[in-house]
Chains A and B, each alone.
Chain A
């Protein structure tokens, strides 16, 4: 059974760094892109970018390029979303999702990680 499990909620101050995780199981982690999607409070879905665990290749939405870093650790079947200096506007729920073969749609999603940035 495919499962995608994200790390827990975080409360941070502006300027702090943060890394959240997304751990997959039930399939060959190396073979599927992992995407990250932001949902700001009460708003819609925004694709941030994606990472390919097989070779750590990445694709970024220009709106998020330089603001976040995507990475993976194949040894623990995990993908990561990282900020070096958080802003209040980074407050949102962040989802990771597996991209399926062929259709490229996002077939399995994590439960979401709420990140709150407040002084």
Chain B
């Protein structure tokens, strides 16, 4: 299953609302996760089964969508949110990741 994220790069300001889209080539039955990765660090799980917030993740992060189209929304960007975000499908082997969306400070 191929995952295509858009955009690949996003330049935004603190306080902005941003949305990242992940499109799958096949239905994932909502087995879709979102991860945040900062430079030099391991990825961190943010959202699982498309819309469930992982414990400890701020509520400004939310996930939505179903089937083949999913979104990650950050309601009000904070300085610590500037990072790269990946979606991942877990419905079929081989598990695959989107190519990533890098969120940069404007």
In the complex, what residues of A have CB within 8 A of residue B42's CB?
Answer: 95, 97, 109-112
The size of the chain A interface, using a CB distance under 8 A, is 23
The interface residues of chain B, by DSSP majority, are classed as: loop
Shortest distance from the beta carbon of B73 to any chain A beta carbon, whole Å? 18
* Bound CA span A112–B33, Å: 20
Partner of A44, one of B48, B49, B94, B100: B100
Given A103-B33, A105-B88, A110-B42, answer yes or no on A47-B95 (Cβ-Cβ < 8 Å).
yes
The complex places the Cα of A106 from the Cα of B42 at a distance, in Å, of 11
CA distance A102 to B31 in the complex (A): 10
B interface, CB within 8 angstroms of A: 31, 33, 35, 37, 41-45, 48-49, 52, 54, 86, 88, 90, 93-100
Known A44-B86, A105-B48, A106-B35; further 9 A-B contacts with Cβ < 8 A = A45-B88, A47-B95, A47-B96, A103-B49, A105-B33, A106-B33, A109-B42, A111-B42, A112-B42
